[in-house]
Amino acid sequence: MERPILDFLYLVSIVFFIVGLRGLSHPESARRGNLLAAAGMILAIIITLFYPFGNTPNNYGWIAGGILVGTVIGSVAAIKVKMTKMPEMVSIFNGFGGACTMLIAITEFRTLPPGTELLSGQVFTVIFSVFIGSVAFSGSLVAYGKLDGFLRDSIRLPFPQIVNGVLLLVIIFFGGYIMMMDELNYTIVLILLGLSIIYGITFVMPIGGGDMPVVISLLNSFTGIGAAAAGLIYGNQVMIVGGILVGASGTFLTILMCEAMNRSLINVIIGGLGATTFTGGDDKDKVVKEASHGDTAILLKYSQKVLIVPGYGLAVAQAQHACHELESMLEKEGVQVRYGIHPVAGRMPGHMNVLLAEADVPYDKLLEMEEANKELPTTDVVLVIGANDVVNPAAKTDTGSPIYGMPIIDVEMAKNVIIMKRSMRTGYAGIDNPLFYGDKTKMLFGDAKDSLNKLKSEISNA
């Protein structure tokens, strides 16, 4: 096939990427956008198999084998993964993308012909790809561990900012040293690789578990930047544009999430959220009022306006379908039901939107934080399902709280607040919630799915 035709087909695949990414901006078009982006990737892979890259060996067997293995693993993971484990899957997949960039760069170093001028833009790009790919790889693995829980408090670095600063300077030194060498020393390259992997670990380790949604987005942008750098190495337009799209979207999402938390990215990277436990006064001031399923069902049935605020507990209980069924029952009783969605609720960007979309909750019922807060003064009942930190009034009142300044859904403005939780344990940020002891608040303890099913039964029998 002629090269101009292949270049044109590359352009077509890039258009598929852009249109597909545009489709992901709205739930109604997200599935179509995802399919378009996937079609663009398939087309790009096929084109690359025919694209002339000079005197390259025939590795079609290895390529076919890699595609087959990757397809099987990815398909099984996507089908089998639970909604509660979706953030972990995103972290692993993102880590694989970083590992791909890292391996491409290491291979490029391995194949540099003797006598290659090392003080060049090409070698700088390869060094940068080693670094950014390694950080995305090892950092994503640490994020996976924090999301899964087994790394949440198990390792603490002494003076992490100093350690990271020194390590980064050492990496820069080795990168510069490689470029100043007369002849490439591959051992130095491996040292650079090892230091970069360690830096990815130490970079993410100090960051609190409550900040993981931001970290996932940030690491995703790193992977995109690494892919673009790998594209520069090979002069591959699709990798360059695709990497830029991923890197830019990840960066914008990171900035938007930091704004939603009223924190700077530097503050997130330095860490802190989840590192302090706020007790919020003496225990004698903490009076918990417990609700029954029967009383809650009556309160919901005879309300005019109900707002549901979902959190990670809804995902853990896999209660999104039961929640949608309760919503439908209440609407048949003439109750207006909406959902208040906090930007960082759950464990990844858009976690609650994806969860509710899986249960076929209409998108127009999902209110962003600002819209939800406007509705709360006229709301009869707020049903908080497994959310904690995103409704914690300490963010507004306690200057010593690690979440101070973070915008929240002001559920205490409603006439009644029902909080569904398994227990009085703190949320992912590790701080107490004074809302639990509020005058308007009642606690409905138990598994979210079981409680929602009991509420449905009580409403139908009332």
**Which residues are catalytic, by number?**
389
Q: What is the CA radius of gyration of the chain?
A: 25
Q: Is 413 exposed, middle or buried (0-12, 13-18, 19+ CB in 10 A)?
A: middle
Q: How far apart are CA 1 and CA 73, in angstroms?
A: 32
Q: CA-CA distance, 205 to 344, in Å (whole number)?
A: 20
Task: Classify residue 114 as left (phi > 0), alpha (psi -120 to 50) or beta.
Answer: beta
